[in-house]
Structure 1
Amino acid sequence: LHNMRTLDSMSPNKQYKIAGETLYIYAPLAHRLGLFAIKTELEDLSFKYEHPVAYARISEQIKASQQRRSAVYNDFSHPIAQRLADMGLKFDAKARLKSVYSIWRKMETKHIPFEEVYDLYAMRIIFECDDPAREKQICWQIYSAITDLYRLHPERTRDWISNPKANGYQALHLTVMGPDGNWIEVQIRSRRMDEIAELGFAAHWKYKIGEGEEESELNAWLSTIKDILDNPEPNAIDFLDTLKLNLFASEIVVFTPKGELLTLPNNATVLDVAFELHSEIGMHCIAGKVNHKLVPLSHKLRSGDQVEVLTSQSQTPKAEWVNFLATAKARTRLRQLMRKEMLPIIERGREIYESYLAEHGIEDSNHVITKFLGTMHMENREELFLSLGKNEATIPSYMNKVLRPAQASLISKILRPLTGKRGQGSADTAPVKQTVNMKETYKLVTSDNGASNYKMCDCCHPIPGDDVMGWVNDDGDVELHAQNCPRASVLKASFGKRVIAVEWPSQKNTFRANVRIEGIDRQGILMDIIQMLSQNMSLDLRKLDIEADQGVFHCELALKVSDTKEVTDICSKLKQIKGVKRTARVSQV
């Protein structure tokens, strides 16, 4: 948190690296420990450095709408406060505003403007209660009082009192229709629950000494994390993913036949339950009974299911089991078991690999192993050595030729900045490749014939004006990723030293952008859309799919544009067409 608060003093590439690591690992970690205030600040600060323009815009919109929001909140909260006071309760009632980051996430995922984010705030009621045994009763009394005043949303009541979240969070949530016609969430907590919600397990010392239910839950989770750290995955990305897998936010609760409660991540399976109970049970699991019905190992569980695990001593772990495990504990245990069995074979494969390098006079390095993995289509070293050891794969006869030019190329890349020499005629086909200074902002250059000193990534299709970062790949080329691209999050967290800040070129080039349109169907609306695009804006239309069903239409466009501002203008003008209700840029259609 201190690093994030002092990020201003860092170079841009360090800002991207640290902000990326924060969103990928540390914010979810804070959430899992119940440190809500820290988690929120970490997310907002990461967002501020990754998307400075969007952060400033949303902050300004929040400020501008404050007066209107306050008026709506006062109209909504006054009758509730009056009713609770009449009940003789001591309480604090306040509005909890959504964080800038969570507002942006909602706008991005639902493709809606700021004005359509209706749940900008929630009402939080914190009551005083000296007797923890009465907290649940008072929560439901307040619930009853509120539902007497306002209409309840039947599917948005969350009881985290009877079944607390794994991070210790307890509260009763309900959603009711406010006086302005919008849904408003109300969170009901005791003072004890509120302190635990804001400060996490650290607040428990005030209320309990010794092993309580929540402390046991934390110890079990910390034990799993320790287990992962003691037995890390050989591949750094797999290790991070396994660790992150255990920072789940969405949870389900299932029961054993004896009525014991298990908290698991969403999409957990029967096999996850088996490993949760004991590694030996997981190893020998053959099937399960869910609500007394026989199901396979891969059966996904739902909250409230009763799960019985069936085992057999003849059963042995299978490598494909990893595909339907949702808990980090189960994955770590399974991989440990599989690795133990495969260790002799992996060592045999390693010997084959090292003998080949020694025979051809090639020195082992990250660059060499990357070429091996790419040429032989393998995910990581372990998979390569396992395939070689099992004789399922052999090193291609042309591998020596693949490696030698690569090594020569690597040496030339190192020497070129020192000598300043380039091959003859190269300037005719591409701009001079810039030496990448990781500490400075990398200037993106595109020549008149379209050649550039960067590569666009297919995973997110960034265009000029987007918040982007550069990543230097194994060949020394700069790849561009949108800041909100899932792949970029992994790169920042795992290969942060290769991340650089970039600056878009000022010259105009065209890039593909994808736009989604929704609205009310009417005769002639397609013609209006096409005329708006082709006549008024002279755009290069590359794809148009439109489908209408029961009076509503959905349209997906792909066009050539010069920058992100042009896409914003297009969306704004399309919304002026009669019947069009929503337009938004999407990553791909």
Structure 2
Amino acid sequence: MSHFESLRDVLGGYLEPNQVADIERAYKLAERAHEGQMRSSGDPYITHPVAAAHILAELHLDHQTIMAALMHDVIEDCDVTKQDLTTEFGETVADLVEGVSKLTQIDFQSKEQAQAENFRKMMMAMTQDIRVILIKLADRLHNMQTLGALRPDKRRRIARETLEIYAPIANRLGIYRLKEQLELLGFANMYPLRYRILQHSVRKVRGHRKEIVERITEQLRTRLKDSRITCKVIGREKSVYSIYKKMRDKVGTFNEVMDIYAFRVITDSEDSCYRILGQIHNLFKPIPGRFKDYIAIPKANGYQSLHTVLRNKTGMHIEVQIRTELMNQMAEHGVAAHWLYKTGSAHPAETKAREWLQSLIELQQNAGDSIEFVENVKIDLYPDEVYVFTPKGKIIELPKGATPVDFAYAIHTDVGNSCIACKIDKQFSPLSTPLSNGKTVEIITAPGAKPNPAWLSYVVTGKARSNIRNFVKNIRQDEAVHLGRRLLEQVLKSQLEDFPPEQLESVAKITHHDTVDDMLAGIGLGKIASVLVAHRLTSGKDDSDDTVVDMPQKDQAPLAIKGTEGLVVKYARCCRPIPGDPILAYVSAGKGFTIHRETCPNVQRAHKHNDRYVPVQWSDDVQGDFIAELRIEVFNQRGVLAQITNIISNQEANIVNVDINELDGSTNILTFQMGVRNRVHLANIIKKLRVIPFVNKVHRHP
């Protein structure tokens, strides 16, 4: 009975003798069930459930929870059934044990699926009785304390799971005491070298810090004593893991993080908390924007406290938390405080926990499988992260504010580079849409598509931003060179290979370019006229005084537009030209060509008097989709939008955007932007739409 003695001492301090006797019966059953079983460390297996029970006893959990903790592995590892437990200890204890037990009856396809199903079962049991997760947290904490006997790879896997799942759950339930221990042990086993270095560094500066902490503590105590406010002031040390997180999140270097001194002031009432805040702000200068009132607006887990950051006369930063004794106990114990203090009314931590547990039931109902459910729970545990799904159910983690373009690059660089549109939950959405948790995102790509520089205005991930910048920089140069070559050869009516390389290089120098490619890129970007370069090549003129502002002549043969010119050829939004439309191009110095329809009001008169407009035509082998805009006047009926969208999709046109405007009480104007191949494709769509009874008018705009 030696294993039980220390636990009995703790239990006797807050439980009735008959309850302690029931716990001892549970211990005896567990001891018999685990007889002969050993842990990886070489200790008898019974030491593990006793240690888990001891952790819960320190939180003053009720006797049924302690009994379940002692027997939490007997169903899984021993020849004991739930019915046996129900007969011996009652249904409540049996349900708790089953809730914590690992699932072994089902043959899973993968280890990940088995772990996910185990987790799902535990979370669902937790919605029935929150004590299940308290037992599981105690179980995990003792496992983390004894990880040393396992292989390094297994230690890292368990440590990662602890940091990703169990520590955040303890945080979500407001049990900071367990959360901090789980984080520290998880960090020590996940990154042992980083942990040892940081721990050593903290020890080195601790002596110097001790004097400063004592001096600031005395200043705070003196000021508050003079104000006749009852309170106690405690200097706090930051945990190694919290220091690591601040450094990892680039809040500062080790020295900068350690230059922040933390204190906690505990008082008797909310009113005193705000009075203390005023006195401290008079003593030290508060830093603007660093005050948080979690008393008036508690955190999601029910945590309450006043937080402020101050600066003393030497420039030192001082963090202070101000809370009541009850708030402090709630912060330490979270939902476990319900049993510790047996308060009559539900406290904030318990209320928030119940709300979260209710949301878990909804997540379970909507989840397709256990792995999806786990990821859904992780979304809740990491509010600063966004988790979205691929159409195949893979979870993609992105920072808050991420867009479908960030999502595309998170999947693969090639997917991002060839992205043209997206569907969010099967609905077409703009690529700039901020993603929210749990959405399914489908990226639509096209072989000839290229990144759009405008994406840089709304992407948030470094991967997306760097890839777009690099691609745009390199591809724009390559495309400009290719277009410049085509323009020059069109004017010359011969290939550049017909001219000696020395002659091409000489003309490049005369036109103030370092290389022939730079000169061709200048032509493609409209910085220099192709006719001027052609004139120099054919006449042999080497006069370097001529300016390079001459523009292409109108009497030259039209340039064929293939639709694959990328960034150096753009299509005007004012008229949205598509293959089959008569077109012309406006040459913008440094920006390339902008294609307009000849009927566009913006160019009908101007192009006759402006040398920047040049003749172009569609190539016979034009490729890609081009944006066209349709305006559809419809009568208000149920399902109108769905039917029209379905017809457009059936015609293999990609809907890019939809606007709905009310014309009058009975009529709406639907404006669709869609990708079409050519005028014939668009005409077929219009023909299909015009035969719908509730469609009044259809016309292309503009």
Normalising by structure 1, what TM-score? Answer: 0.42
Normalising by structure 2, what TM-score? Answer: 0.35
Bigger radius of gyration among the two: 2
More relative contact order in 1 or in 2 (CA 8 Å, sep 6+)?
1
